[in-house]
Amino acid sequence: MATLETLPFDNRYIHLPEDFYARVPPRPLPRPRLVAVNPDAAALLGLGPEQLARPEFAEYFSGARPLPGADPIAAVYAGHQFGNWVPQLGDGRALLLGEVVGPDGRRWDLHLKGAGQTPFSRRGDGRAVLRSVIREYLCSEAMHGLGVPTTRALCIIGGDEPVVRERVEPGAMMVRLAPSHVRFGTFQVFAARKRVDHLRLLADHVIAHHYPELAGTADAHPALLAAIARRTGNLVADWQANGFVHGVLNSDNMSALGLTIDYGPFAFIDHYRHDYVRNHTDHTGFYAYNRQPQIGRFNVYLLATAMLPLMTPEAAQAGLDAYQPAFDAAHAARLRAKLGLATAQPDDAELAGGLFELMDQGGADFSAFFRALAGYDGAGPVPAACTTLLEPGAHGLAAAWFARYGERLRREKANPAERRRAMDRVNPLYVLRTHLLQAAIDAAEAGDHAEIGRLHDLSRDPFTERPGMAAYAAPPARDQAMPLLSCSS
């Protein structure tokens, strides 16, 4: 096992030309202290519980004490934000501390958010607030518990520095882990600068370290684009199947490894609307729930355009075309599993579409309704657990849909008990709902961090019922509407 002083760093991104980054030391918060730490993520680095309990932990992972072997940099990238081109972005409040080789040989970027100003801060203060890092810390681990590709969260560090956002808030830092933080926007910035040499270096770096099966092949760059497109299609299918709204699907927030990254004004849908929006700046619904599949393809199109100097137009089109079949197949498979259907049938899409229409008209809680479906025996009336989640005006539509659903289940001839167990393994009981997150944030700002640990523990296995945790499985009341969230969330 490693110690804080002997983490095995092997920093590879810094071997790229200096145009790819700026070397920046972190600016620690005054009096850094540990707010939360994730032993699961720490184990990926080879850090055991005794290292997490050391008082030096908060100093090392806040930048107050340099980590031996780290070489902090802020990466440059560009991107399309709400469809508008921004020629230079970059790590404006985060630093890549370095890359650690875990005990199993896997490599992890250590990324410190809230580390202070960088050359890419664009007049920002380079800080993060406690509210936002709690949200990302908990949601990245909740997504991991759901089986959705994501960055991981190592720790939250608090400190004595107020930060001004919509109000004055306590500043905080967070360390996240990922195999890579290369984004679609990393390709875009060098395409815009017409640095084909840097584009090629970047693509070769990503292939060598993250898609090694493509290395040495004649069509490695087109194959890389297609592989990223497929991973992105699968990722968006995961989001849709879990009722997850990212909120800010700018191309600079899209991972070249198909990971969920940069959690901001996200939400898991409570009372369902197909055009659900949680970002208060998204006045047109550009990144609404029902548009996420389209935006996923749009971002792959932007990546294909950026990578065009490395391949023929036909190869770029083929790479782009890999997105939609991947999304369609993954989404259909996930919906079949959530509905307890073991085989594919021609009318499955129509059946699923009818369910979403029912939930939309009835305002059903997304996660609770899917979980309640497992109690339907395929022959009786609409289960009471489902009826109570619907507005009264939708009960007639529910009766018609459940009649179709029951007929479909009877065609399967599946054992009801086995089907229920299978459905409960993919439809979570515990979801990181906005009101639960807000309660944890309110408590933490008052100095009580216990709720962060409680929500994290539930997210590790969100499918299995826990004694005494019924309140965490319940949807919010219909009058418990949460306000829209800002990009600082």
- pLDDT tens digits for 292-344? 999 999 999 999 999 999 999 999 999 999 999 999 999 999 999 999 999 99
E-only strand ranges, 123-218 = 128-129, 152-164, 168-178
| Residue where a domain stops, chosen among 184, 215, 250 | 184
Phi and psi at residue 354, in whole multiples of 5°? -65, -35
Distance between CA atoms of residues 45 and 68, nearest Å? 14
In a domain, 479, yes or no: no
Tokens 């369609």 locate to 328
In a domain, 388, yes or no: yes
Query: Is 160 within 8 Å of 31 (Cβ atoms)?
Result: yes
| Residue where a domain stops, chosen among 361, 382, 413 | 413
Residue 321, Cβ density class (10 Å: 0-12 exposed, 13-18 middle, ≥19 buried): middle
Query: Which residues in the chain land under pLDDT 70?
Result: 481-484, 486, 488-489
Q: What is the mean pLDDT of the chain?
A: 96
- Provide the number of structural domains found in the chain: 2
Among 52, 62, 43, 73, smallest CA distance to 4 is for 52
Q: How many helices (H) and strands (E) does the chain have?
A: 18, 12
Query: Is 92 within 8 Å of 118 (Cβ atoms)?
Result: yes
In a domain, 314, yes or no: no
Give SS3 for 382.
coil
| Residue where a domain stops, chosen among 184, 209, 225 | 184
Query: Is 351 within 8 Å of 404 (Cβ atoms)?
Result: yes
In a domain, 458, yes or no: no
Domain of residue 116, residue span = 13-184
Residue 326's CB is within 10 A of a number of other CB atoms, namely 23
Query: Is 92 within 8 Å of 126 (Cβ atoms)?
Result: yes
Tell me the C-alpha to C-alpha distance, in Å, between residue 82 and each of 250, 283, 286: 6, 11, 7
E-only strand ranges, 17-119 = 21-23, 33-37, 73-75, 79-81, 84-86, 94-101, 107-113
Distance between CA atoms of residues 52 and 38, nearest Å? 9
Distance between CA atoms of residues 396 and 393, nearest Å? 7
In a domain, 481, yes or no: no
Among 240, 237, 298, 287, smallest CA distance to 262 is for 287
Phi and psi at residue 194, in whole multiples of 5°? 60, 35
Phi and psi at residue 24, in whole multiples of 5°? -140, 125
In a domain, 487, yes or no: no
Distance between CA atoms of residues 318 and 313, nearest Å? 9
Catalytic positions are 252
In a domain, 60, yes or no: yes
In a domain, 405, yes or no: yes
Tell me the C-alpha to C-alpha distance, in Å, between residue 350 and each of 103, 342, 346, 368, 471: 47, 16, 8, 21, 34
Residue 481: its pLDDT value, please? 62
What residues contact residue 121 under an 8 Å CB cut-off, 6+ apart? 92, 93
